[in-house]
Amino acid sequence: MAAAKKTGRTDRLARLFNVLCLLNENSPGLYPEALAGKCNVSIRTTYRDLKALSEEMEIPLQSDKGKWRIPPDYFLSPINLSLPEAMTMFFASRLLLGYSNTYNPSIALALMKLRSITPHPLKEQIHKTIEWIQKRKKDDLRTLGLIAQAWASGNRTKIQYLVPNRETLVECVIEPYFIQSMDIESASHIIAYCPDIRSIHTFKIERIKSLELLDERYTAPQDFDSDACINLSRSVSTEGENRDAQDESC
């Protein structure tokens, strides 16, 4: 029975990745009937797979006149990895998992892609890691992905932030400069400039309760020193003060 369940999970992961590849290779989109035929499954199963990709993997699938597609600008261009490079990516993903207790679809999807190009036994270990990730509680805010998008595109971002100790929400506009996982606090942080108070602060990402990308652009200063801000945040944590790193400016 256990072997059968494991095989079922393996088949599902392989099928989801197959659907993902088919959609990525057919930019105009595919009808569910065509996907079902290519994957040799029922149309009902295909709809479940599309729902899983959309809700579990948080891929912004689009449906237009019955055809399903992936936005053309969603994926970056493919790259070739050597085995040592693939191992490095796997280790980095495992380390990143230690900084959050919630389900991270970006890590799951990255590992799913990595699994498709690696040999055994690394393929089996990646598969076990994906299963482990999927057991975690879901985070519907997609906070990290949106923060990464704002950072990459240079868009100012309006956030609602849960202030520690006071446990109240405050709203502010930030300009993301850097994203970092802190080894001491076991959490991910965004280092950002706050135009309203004209200073740089670090914010714990798990305390960001909502965010909105604005149509306002910014450019990080060339002399910005992310390492100095990270070291300051670490020193605040080491001193054991009852406040989070965002209470300190760089």
Quick count: other Cβ atoms within 10 Å of Cβ 32?
19
* Residues 47-75: tens digit of each pLDDT: 999 998 888 877 889 998 899 998 887 77
pTM: 0.50
Check residues 190 and 117 and name the one with the higher pLDDT.
190
Check residues 236 and 208 and name the one with the higher pLDDT.
208
Q: Which of 142, 133, 147, 125 is nearest to 191 (CA)?
A: 147
| 3-class state of residue 3 by DSSP | helix
Q: Which of 234, 233, 208 is nearest to 102 (CA)?
A: 208
Local confidence band at 31 (pLDDT 50, 70, 90 cut-offs): very high
Quick count: other Cβ atoms within 10 Å of Cβ 187?
19
Give pLDDT, residue 113.
80
pLDDT surpassing 50 at residue 129: yes
Q: Which of 66, 64, 62, 99 is nearest to 183 (CA)?
A: 99
Give pLDDT, residue 77.
67
Q: Which of 246, 161, 137 is nearest to 212 (CA)?
A: 161
Separation CA 83–CA 85 (nearest Å): 5
* Residues 73-104: tens digit of each pLDDT: 777 667 777 888 888 888 877 776 665 666 66
Separation CA 231–CA 241 (nearest Å): 15
As a whole-number percent, the residues of the chain with pLDDT over 70 amount to 76
Dihedrals φ, ψ of 17, to 5°?
-65, -35
Give pLDDT, residue 43.
93
- DSSP per-residue codes, 78-97: P----HHHHHHHHHHHHHHH
Separation CA 175–CA 159 (nearest Å): 11
Local confidence band at 114 (pLDDT 50, 70, 90 cut-offs): confident
| 3-class state of residue 24 by DSSP | helix
As a whole-number percent, the residues of the chain with pLDDT over 90 amount to 21
Torsional sign, CA 238, 242, 246, 247: negative
Give the contacts of 37 (CB within 8 A, at least 6 positions apart): none
Quick count: other Cβ atoms within 10 Å of Cβ 137?
7
Give pLDDT, residue 6.
46
Q: What structural domains and CATH numbers belong to the chain?
A: 7-69 (1.10.10.10), 83-138 (no CATH), 143-247 (2.30.30.520)
Give pLDDT, residue 57.
78
CA 128 to chain centre: 19
* Residues 139-189: tens digit of each pLDDT: 544 677 788 889 989 999 999 998 877 778 899 999 999 887 655 445 678
pLDDT surpassing 50 at residue 239: no
| Contact between residue 39 and residue 19 where contact means Cβ atoms under 8 Å apart | yes
pLDDT surpassing 90 at residue 30: yes
- Mean of per-residue pLDDT scores for the chain: 78
Local confidence band at 137 (pLDDT 50, 70, 90 cut-offs): low
